[in-house]
Amino acid sequence: MSDTHCTRIFLFSHLRTRSNLFMRLLETHPRVTDRVYPFKDAFMNGPECQNALSTKKGRARAVGKSMEEFEETFANTTFQAGLDAMEKTIIQAESEGKIAVIKEHTCFMLDSKTLNRNVCCHREEKPRPVIVDHQLDTQTRKDKENGVPHVNCTEIPLPNPTLLPSRLITTLQPVIIIRHPSYTFPSALRASSSYGANVFDPDFAIIATFRWQRLVFDFYREYCEREHKIYSGRGYWPIVVDGDKLINNTKDQMSKICEMVGLEEAGIRYTWDPHYVKRNAVWDAFTKVAEESTGVIKSSESIRPPNMVEARKKWENEWDKDVAQKLVEFVELAMDDYNYLLRHSI
């Protein structure tokens, strides 16, 4: 990917940050080929699951399966399979002259060692998934001079925080989406309660933080500076989107994003047909509203600054004082990373 021609965008998302809306908007563009969550099920349900066994059991119960049935369902759902599918999507898009847009929640692309090092609770360490870069995104790309597949195998000069191959991660245009923690975390709690999760679970700690997005942002920023890939409106420099700006000023935000990645904003549609398909209670808890939508759904919550006194009272009424206190603690811990990323948002 050059600084003037973007063909592969990766949305480093976070639960409940309006990432579904962002993808819904982009997928209306005729030049976009999208793929969502190539690694989520591998992280949460597959044989290389990086979550606790109790979380996995809760997800099995929520979809009405025994653990044996659940394990069989996801027996082949590996990080390797996710990477291969992602690379195939990229090469398909590029062969058709389109832009590939891939979305994944950032925490689902990290191993448990990295996760555990950055949360203030004890989590079991799981083996790091074994992933081989088959370079499927390069299969039909030919070097103009000698007609052989062209692969950039240059080692990057700093540690890659994700499970994505270093060769691949430097070819992506990173987009990071955030939203105020006091809106994001309780929304994540409501949705994840569909599989029995609660705010005190060690696995909840990894979705009640913006540390992962900051790790990715800092990685790309340092990579750009070391490689002299200075931000010029397009290129490798990470784009940060605030989910509440996106919902309040949708057309303005999409115009900026399209200009930065080389898409024509005129190709974006702001209304669409619903595409809800019933799957299971867990999927519905996270995606049903977005899938049933026909356009941008605004809410009063997204247009006013959060008031933590009011928020705590609301959470006490919805749950109890202990849950409310824990949510407050998560919000306070996350504010440094959130504000850091917010300063760089478009």
Which tens digit of pLDDT belongs to each residue from 27-67? 999 999 999 999 999 999 999 999 999 999 999 999 999 99
| Mean of pLDDT values over 198-225 | 95
Q: Which helix (H) or strand (E) holds 104?
A: strand 99-105
Q: Token pair 């245009």 is at which residue?
A: 173
Instruction: Quote the pTM value.
Output: 0.92
Task: Give the pLDDT band (50/70/90) at residue 302.
Answer: low
pLDDT in the model for residue 300: 66
Task: Give the pLDDT band (50/70/90) at residue 290.
Answer: confident
DSSP characters over 146-176: T-SB----PPPSS---SSS-HHHHTTSEEEE
pLDDT in the model for residue 244: 92
Dihedral-angle region of residue 233 (phi above 0 means left; psi in -120 to 50 means alpha; beta otherwise): left
pLDDT in the model for residue 303: 63
| Mean of pLDDT values over 5-25 | 94
Burial category of 4 from C-beta neighbours within 10 Å (exposed 0-12, middle 13-18, buried 19 and up):
exposed
Q: In angstroms, rounded to a whole number, what is the distance separating the alpha carbons of residues 76 and 131? A: 14
pLDDT in tens, 167-179: 999 999 999 999 9
pLDDT in tens, 113-161: 999 999 988 899 999 999 999 999 997 554 433 333 444 555 788 999 9
pLDDT in the model for residue 285: 80
Residue 37: count of CB within 10 angstroms of its CB: 16
pLDDT in the model for residue 281: 83
Q: In angstroms, rounded to a whole number, what is the distance separating the alpha carbons of residues 154 and 170? A: 10
Task: Give the pLDDT band (50/70/90) at residue 95.
Answer: very high
Q: Token pair 């959470």 is at which residue?
A: 315
Q: Distance of CA 262 to CAs 7, 313, 317, 320, Å? A: 9, 45, 47, 48
In this structure, of 139-153, 221-235, 289-303, the range with the lowest mean pLDDT score is 139-153
pLDDT in the model for residue 143: 42
The full length of the chain comes to 346
pLDDT in the model for residue 275: 84
List 93's β-bridge partners, or say none: none
| Mean of pLDDT values over 182-208 | 96
Task: Give the pLDDT band (50/70/90) at residue 79.
Answer: very high
Q: In this predicted model, which residue has the larger pLDDT, 98 or 301?
A: 98
Q: In angstroms, rounded to a whole number, what is the distance separating the alpha carbons of residues 345 and 11? A: 14
Complete edge-to-edge strand list for the sheet that includes strand 32-36: 32-36, 99-105, 8-13, 173-178, 239-242
pLDDT in the model for residue 190: 96
